[in-house]
Amino acid sequence: MTQLALVIDLNVCVGCHACVTSCKQWNTSGTAGPLADFNPYDKDPTGAFFNRVQSFEVGEFPNTQTVHFPKSCLHCEDPPCVPVCPTGASYKRAEDGIVLVDYDKCIGCKYCAWACPYGVRELDEERQVMTKCTLCVDRITDTALPEAERKPACVLACPTNARLFGDIHDPDSVVSTAIRENAGYALMPEWGTHPANHYLPRRKTERHIHADELTRADNPLKVDGLKPKPPKSDPALDDVMSW
C-alpha cells in the first residue's frame, strides 16, 4: 500500500508563500479548469486556494517565536470528508491514498467541508464545486516529465526545502525517515483522522562546549602549562632583523 504525503518542516519554513503561489499557478492552469478568483486586483479579493501559509506567534514578548504554518489537505488515512459525500464525488484513491474530488460529480453541497476539521476544502465559487489539494496528481503521475520534476508544485517551489514528498508507508522513504528521526507529528490527533501529512517541529540546535575544549590540550608551547618565557638577553625578533 502506498500513501503519498507531504512532510512540512516548521523549523525551516520561512513563510515566503512560494508554495501558495506555485500551487495556485499549477492548479489554475491544468486540465481541471481554472481556480476562480474574484476581484484579484481590487478591493476585497477572494478566490479558491489549495494551500495557505499562516503565521502564529508562540510565547510572550520578548521570548517569542514566529511559526509559519503551511496548511493544505492532509490526505487523511481515515478521511471524514469521504463517507459523508452524498454523490461519491469525494474519494480516496486506493493506489496512492490521495483524497480527490471528482469535479464532474460534485453538487456543491459543502457537506464535505463541514466534515473536515482542518478547513482545507474550499468551494470554487465560479464552478460551484468543492476543490482541494490533489498533491498535483496530474504532475506526479505525468511520465512525460523528467523523474525529478514528478513532485507537487509546492515541493519544487520551496526555496528552503521545507516540504518533503513521498510515501509514508515505505519505511525507507525520505518522508518516513524525516518523521521518524525528527519527531514528525499529525494535526488534531484527537479526531482519529490519521492525517498522512506530517509536520516537523521547531528544533533548537544546541552545542555544549566543555571547559577543556576552550584550550588546545596538545599546544606544544604549553607542554608544561607555562608559556615560554625567554631571558631578556636572548636576541629578540627585532634584533635579528636589525642587521
Partner 1 sequence: MNPKFSVILLTTLIGAGQGLFIAVFAVELGAHFGLVTPPIIPWFYFYGALLSLGFTFAGLVASIFHLGRPSRAWRSASQWRTSWLSREVIVLPAFMAVTALYAAAHFLNWNGPYGSGEGGITDPTMLLGFAGFALAMILYLCTGMVYACLPFLREWATPLTVVNFTLLGLASGFALAAAATLARPPLVRVYAACALAFTIAGLLGRLAALARNARLRPKSTIQTAIGIKHPRIAQKSQGFTGESFNTREFFHGRTIAFVRSVKWVFLLAGFVVPAVLLALALAGAPKATVVAAFVVQFAGLVAERWHFFAQANHPQNLYYQAVA
- Enumerate binding residues for partner 1 (CB under 8 A): 17, 20, 39, 44-49, 52-60, 66-67, 69, 71, 80, 83-89, 105-111, 113-119, 121-123, 125, 127-129, 185-191, 199, 201-202
Kind plus residue range of the DSSP H or E element containing 174: helix 174-181
- Specify the residue, 94 or 237, whose C-beta has the smaller distance to partner 1: 94
What minimum distance in Å lies between the beta carbon of 44 and partner 1? 5
DSSP 43: S
What minimum distance in Å lies between the beta carbon of 188 and partner 1? 5
- Specify the residue, 140 or 157, whose C-beta has the smaller distance to partner 1: 157
| Partners of 72 in beta bridges | 51
Distance of alpha carbon 43 from alpha carbon 20, whole angstroms: 20
Contact of 47 with 38, CB cutoff 8 Å: yes
What minimum distance in Å lies between the beta carbon of 203 and partner 1? 12
- Specify the residue, 113 or 137, whose C-beta has the smaller distance to partner 1: 113
Closest C-alpha to 75, from 196, 173, 209 = 196
- Specify the residue, 201 or 235, whose C-beta has the smaller distance to partner 1: 201
Contact of 177 with 170, CB cutoff 8 Å: no
